[in-house]
A and B are shown apart, each in its own frame.
Chain A
């Protein structure tokens, strides 16, 4: 572990100090000034830009992740050999312990699959909720109203996620607002256990990432020429075909961007499933959390986390390929 850090720091130092150690420091600087990027931004600004991006990308993103990769291939269990490399953390997710009666680790695999599928469900639900809102805001309202609506959407997100999740618990609880009012109206005889059925959790997850779905779609649709919608209508198109043929193809990059974000964050969510999940159902992140903090096995936790990360990336790339969206379009 510390080897890794020292090698890493040595490389960084070498890169920084090398030009200074050379005898012709002056020429190094003179050459540096010829680089277009430096020429354009000046020595000070370009040093800052390169340095800041370097620190952010290398020190804060790549390095810790590399640590985790390193962890995931070591035996972190109590009594294991921390220096040897092993695949057992990964194989545990698939096959479980040798002593188990089942060949596969069905419990964890099931939870893993459920997490992915449920995240797809949450993404679809969020899309169905947000597309009409985004379309309405982008095409049907005028400046002032739009701003009012957007603020009304943003303000609730000043309340922190945990608090919002607990609010949903109160809403969906057996003596919560929804059950009480449904029973009051005589629709229900006894309360529905929304929490046990995971309905509260799906609602909570969809709600948690609603902004990340609304904004990219809103941005995409906002730039659509309203005449195109009118032209389609004028040519006899019913409303659903206008969306299917004109609006959605145009907003595809925004939809893709919103969906990938909501999917990734849902699959990686911890607080909402922890608070709103049913007592008998687990989210995959909860298992990862348990390996780290209850099981004390960081290696296994890292392995699980990487499996989740790569599965999600592969899944998202596959879906994007299917819908013919380029990675670059997500940034539009």
Chain B
């Protein structure tokens, strides 16, 4: 049916430890799909299971519809790019790229020609005779991609390949990767703990926590319509307000919180009496100036201000150790607020979301 990668009830255990718990996913052909989660959430385990380095304890992994159980990593139509790249240091760049072709028994001249083509693709034309150690970090990155693409895999698996690069190069490589993916048109499965990478590059993202896939969706869905407290707190900044649902009307729910009654969208169908967290993004919060709105007003003490140029970040005392943070734009006069002052902030009902109570992501 689906001609991509399907995970059907995939559970992977190591002894008593469950690394992946009942994962169900259909990754479409040609899609740039990311697994996003903090370290130890099981995303690398899934990747290794797709590439064949470990087998699911239960469930099935299908690539192009066929069950992959019992098929070794050297026989699967996948290619893996390792976190540390794992280029062969004793081979030239061209030999590295052509290694997969050498395995297939392709003659040297043809191998070399294909390697040159791939070197063109990654903008390293004519550098095939260099040794890997002579390349810069970003170049090595691209060679690793070329080496994986040389075997013409149907699925390219990338295990945080950008994590070793510095910020600037990382940002450059993001668009490069996306570019290469669109040119070759194969499925990319990308593992990362960096939400910026996931949001900018992916068609769809699976957010994982402690072995469980919390939510699957495109970047804006994940960001704007989180389904769990973990997703809301892990992807982007968010301000949590804990409380109990006191009233449900239509698509909205109202919670009783330390700061008063707060109302937001009720996307998960919470009922009266449920423990809930209302999340408001920093960009949805604004200072109350002039008339005080009828609802969703929070009054608290200002703990610190950070001047960032175009905006000023303000942190206020929250109900837990986590502070309420938001930004006001710099209008050239600075703020009239001082640390220690009390201020009122408010938000629109539609920009707050009420979710069932759950664990938040660690800062």
A interface with B by C-beta (< 8 Å)? 225, 227-228, 230-238, 241, 245-246, 249-250
Q: Which residue, of B78, B80, B86, has the highest number of chain A Cβ atoms within 10 A?
A: B86
Interface, chain B (partner A; CB < 8 A): 51-53, 72-75, 78-80, 82-84, 86-91, 99-100, 102-104, 147-148, 150-151
Task: Knowing A234-B78, A235-B79, A235-B151, say if A225 contacts B103 (CB, 8 Å).
Answer: no
A142 to chain B, nearest CB (A): 13
Some 25 contacts from A to B, beta carbons below 8 A apart, are A225-B84, A225-B86, A227-B82, A228-B88, A230-B86, A231-B82, A231-B86, A232-B88, A232-B99, A233-B72, A233-B74, A234-B52, A234-B53, A234-B73, A234-B78, A234-B79, A235-B74, A235-B100, A235-B103, A235-B147, A235-B148, A236-B100, A236-B103, A238-B103, A249-B90
A236 touches B104 (CB 8 A): yes
Q: How far is the CB of B276 from the nearest CB of chain A, in Å?
A: 44
Closest CB of chain A to B141's CB: distance in Å?
Answer: 14
CB contacts (< 8 Å) of B73 on chain A: these are: 230, 233-234
Are the C-beta atoms of A236 and B75 separated by less than 8 Å? yes
A237: chain B residues within 8 A (beta carbon): 74, 99, 103
Q: How far is the CB of A237 from chain B (nearest CB, A)?
A: 5
CB nearest neighbor in B for A235: B100
Q: Determine how close the nearest CB of chain B comes to the CB of A226; give it in whole angstroms.
A: 9
List residues of chain B with CB within 8 A of the CB of A225.
84, 86
- Tell me whether chain A's interface is mostly helix, strand or loop, or mixed: helix
Q: A230-B73, A236-B104, A238-B103 are in contact. List 19 more A-B contacts (CB 8 A).
A: A225-B86, A227-B86, A230-B80, A230-B82, A230-B86, A233-B74, A234-B51, A234-B80, A235-B103, A235-B147, A235-B148, A236-B100, A236-B103, A237-B99, A237-B103, A241-B103, A245-B91, A245-B99, A246-B88
What is the bound-complex CA distance between A128 and B99, given in angstroms?
26
Q: A164 vs B359: C-alpha distance in the bound complex, in angstroms? A: 65
CB-CB under 8 A from A246, the residues of chain B are 88
Most buried by A among B74, B79, B80, B91: B74
Contacting residues, chain B, for A236 (C-beta < 8 A)? 74-75, 100, 103-104, 151
In angstroms, Cα B53 to Cα A236, docked, is 13
User: CA A125 – CA B325 in complex, angstroms?
Assistant: 71
What residues on A are CB-neighbors of B51 within 8 Å? Answer: 234
Name the A residues within 8 Å of B79 (CB-CB).
Answer: 234-235
CB pair B86 A228 closer than 8 Å: yes
Chain A residues in 8 Å Cβ range of B78: 234
CA distance A225 to B82 in the complex (A): 11
The CA of A36 and the CA of B77, in the complex, are separated in Å by 61
Q: When chains A and B are docked, how far (Å) is the Cα of A246 from the Cα of B88?
A: 7
Centre residue among B82, B84, B150, B151 by max chain A CB count within 10 A: B82
Interface centre among A225, A228, A236, A249 (most CB of B within 10 A): A236
Q: Which residues of A contact B102 (CB under 8 A)?
A: 245
Please name the 7 residue pairs, one residue from A and one from B, whose CB atoms are nearest each other, closest first: A227-B86, A235-B100, A231-B86, A236-B103, A227-B82, A234-B80, A236-B74
CA distance A204 to B148 in the complex (A): 47
Residue with the greatest number of chain B CB neighbours at <10 A, chosen from A225, A232, A234: A234
Most chain B CB inside 10 Å of its own CB: which residue of A230, A231, A250: A231
A residues near B148, Cβ cutoff 8 Å = 235
Return A236 CB to nearest CB of chain B, in Å. 5
With the chains together, A233 CA to B100 CA distance in Å?
9
Residues of A within 8 A of B147 (CB): 235
Check if B82 sits within 8 Å of A250, measured CB to CB. no
* C-alpha spacing A235/B91, complex, angstroms: 15
A234 and B72 alpha carbons, distance in the complex (Å): 9
- Is there an interface contact between A231 and B103, defined as CB atoms closer than 8 Å? no
Which one, B52, B80, B90, contacts A231 given CB within 8 A? B80
Chain A residue at minimal CB-CB distance from B48: A230
CA distance A234 to B90 in the complex (A): 18
**Closest Cβ–Cβ distance, residue A201 to chain B (whole Å):** 37
Residue in chain B with minimal CB distance to A228: B86
- Tell me if A227 and B84 are in contact (CB < 8 A): yes
A249 to B100, CA, bound (A): 17
Tell me the complex Cα distance, A232–B88, Å.
Answer: 9
How far is B104's CA from A235's CA once the two chains are assembled, in angstroms?
Answer: 9
Find out whether the CB atom of B74 lies under 8 angstroms from the CB atom of A234. yes
A237 to B79, CA, bound (A): 12
Task: Give the nearest-CB partner of A250 in chain B.
Answer: B90
Residues of A contacting B100 in the complex (Cβ-Cβ under 8 angstroms): 235-236
Q: Which of B73, B75, B79, B83 has most A Cβ within 10 Å?
A: B73
Complex Cα distance A236/B83, Å?
A: 19
Nearest Cβ distance between residue B53 and chain A, in whole angstroms? 6
Nearest chain-A residue to B144 (Cβ)?
Answer: A231
Task: Tell me whether B53 and A230 are in contact (CB under 8 A).
Answer: yes
